[in-house]
Amino acid sequence: MAMAGSLPMPSAPRTTIGGRVLIAALAGAAVALIVLNRAYRTAEMALASGILNVVTSSGVYLAAKRQTVYFGLGTDHPFGLQMSPECTSAFLVLPLLVVGAIMIGLRPRIAGRVLGALALATIAVILVNQLRILTLVGLIDWLGTDRGYYWGHTLLGSMVSIIGGAAALVMFVWISTRKPKAER
């Protein structure tokens, strides 16, 4: 009647050299996010200034050394936003890298899916942070410096981070753990 468990099942292969290199690379990337955090934040603000240049008509200036972008230049309300270590997306990517490395270490055959999920989740986290900056800029433009910054930074910014973070996490888990097409 019952048949499961009657035969010993072969174990999946343990981590290969390629897998170990991949794990080391992911761990290295996680460490780099801390060590090279300033450079990462500069890149984030460079991206933000590029987007702002496209979506706003006023002047935008990137002060790369201070990880700051100035916008509204040439208007009555110019404003500068600095990317601090508390606001960067780097540390939201870091746990994903660690979890991804652990998953590849434990089940090497899913490395491709985990890397794909990592790439998409990382892009999502970066875009969410850009959306947060854009929301802040929009609210400052709409409600003025004090009220716009107050609502944009404290409440709406946090909500964007939480909802965006949750979406990125679900996407990462869903893509990295779903069965291959052949097994579905």
Partner 1 sequence: MNLALLLGLTQALALTMSVAFVTYVALIVVPYLRHKRLPGGDPTTLEWHFFVPCRDEETVIGDTVAYLRQTFREAHVWVIDDDSDDRTAEVVMGLRGPRHGGTGDQRLHLVRRQRPFARTGKGDALNSAYRELKRWLGKHADTDRAIIVVVDADGRPAPDCLEVCSAEHLFGNPRVGAVQVDVRMSNRGTSPSAGGYFKRKFGSALVRMQDLEFRSAIAAIQLSRGHTGTISMGGNGQFTRLSALDSIVEGAGPWRGALLEDFELGVHLLTAGWHTGFTVDTHVDQEALYSLRRFLTQRTRWGQGTMQCARYVRRIWDSRHLSTLGAAEMLYYLAQPWMQLLGTLIYPIPFVLLGIRATHNPTEVWEWFSGGAWLLFATYGSFGLMPFIIWGPIYRKKCEPDKGFFRGLAYGFAYAIYIYTFYITSWRALVRLIRGHNGWTKTRRNTEAGHPVVALDH
Which helix or strand (DSSP H or E) is residue 70 part of?
Answer: strand 68-73
79 in contact with partner 1 (CB under 8 A): no
Nearest CB to partner 1, comparing residues 24 and 166: 166
Residues 93 and 121: their CA atoms lie apart, in Å, by 8
**Residue 60 Cβ, how far from partner 1 at the closest point, in Å?**
25
Which helix or strand (DSSP H or E) is residue 81 part of?
Answer: strand 79-82
Site for partner 1 in 118-147 (CB under 8 A): none
182 in contact with partner 1 (CB under 8 A): no
94 in contact with partner 1 (CB under 8 A): yes
What's CA 2's distance to the chain center, in Å? Answer: 47
DSSP 82-116: E--TTT-SHHHHHHHHHHHHHHHHH-GGGHHHHHH
**Residue 105 Cβ, how far from partner 1 at the closest point, in Å?**
9
Which amino acid, 183? E
20 in contact with partner 1 (CB under 8 A): no
Residues 53 and 92: their CA atoms lie apart, in Å, by 26
Nearest CB to partner 1, comparing residues 61 and 150: 150
**Residue 25 Cβ, how far from partner 1 at the closest point, in Å?**
20
Tokens standing for residue 123: 């892009």
Which stretches of the chain bind partner 1, using CB under 8 A? 1-6, 9-12, 14, 34, 37, 84-88, 90-92, 94-95, 102-103, 106-107, 110, 113, 150, 153-155, 158-159, 161-162, 165-166, 169-170, 173, 176-179
